[in-house]
Amino acid sequence: MATGDIDNDGRVDAVVTTNEGPIYILRNETPTQNHWLTLKLVGHKSNRDAIGAEVKLVTAKGTQFATVTTSSSYLSSSDKRVHFGLGPESVAQSVEIRWPSGIVQTLKDVRGDQILKVDEAVAPSAEKGTPQ
């Protein structure tokens, strides 16, 4: 099984396969009023895919953590973008990225309901994000 937001609508979908069997795509079409944020990290000093980067997201409701990886299960690869559910919050107070290179990058007041491309900063305290 592999997971990721296949149709970029903020809801995580799944793809399931069986050995020598069919592929099943499970599209998440659940109606919701909740907000979300997906980060597409691009390394420059670190590896290009940002594999191993650790992300900390803070909202008024709490803190969430994610690590950039593609591993999920046997012979599959999930979406390397990190996805956060924000619930009723439409803005993340802060997003802290610890890149594999050791650079720590912090973004403030990040609007939800978007896929945000974040390039690894040249300087440890730089802020940079580009909506996708």
- Which residues are bridge partners to 41 per DSSP? 118
> What is the pLDDT at residue 88?
96
Helices (H), ranges, the chain: none
Cα–chain-centroid distance for residue 35?
14
Mean pLDDT, each 10-residue run in order, the chain (132 residues): 94 91 94 97 96 97 95 84 97 98 97 98 63 64
Q: What is the pLDDT of residue 108?
A: 98
pLDDT at position 64 is: 98
pLDDT for residue 70: 86
What pLDDT does residue 28 have? 96
Residue type, position 87, single letter: G
Question: Coil, strand or helix: which one is 64?
Answer: strand
Give dist(CA 53, CA 89) in Å, integer: 24
pLDDT of residue 18: 83
Q: What is the pLDDT of residue 127?
A: 57
Decide: residue 10, CB within 10 A, 0-12 exposed, 13-18 middle, 19+ buried: buried
Q: Which residue has the tokens 């403030």?
A: 108
pLDDT at residue 129, rounded to an integer: 65
Calculate ∠ Cα 109-110-111, nearest 5°: 115
According to CATH, the topology of domain 32-131 is: Immunoglobulin-like (2.60.40)
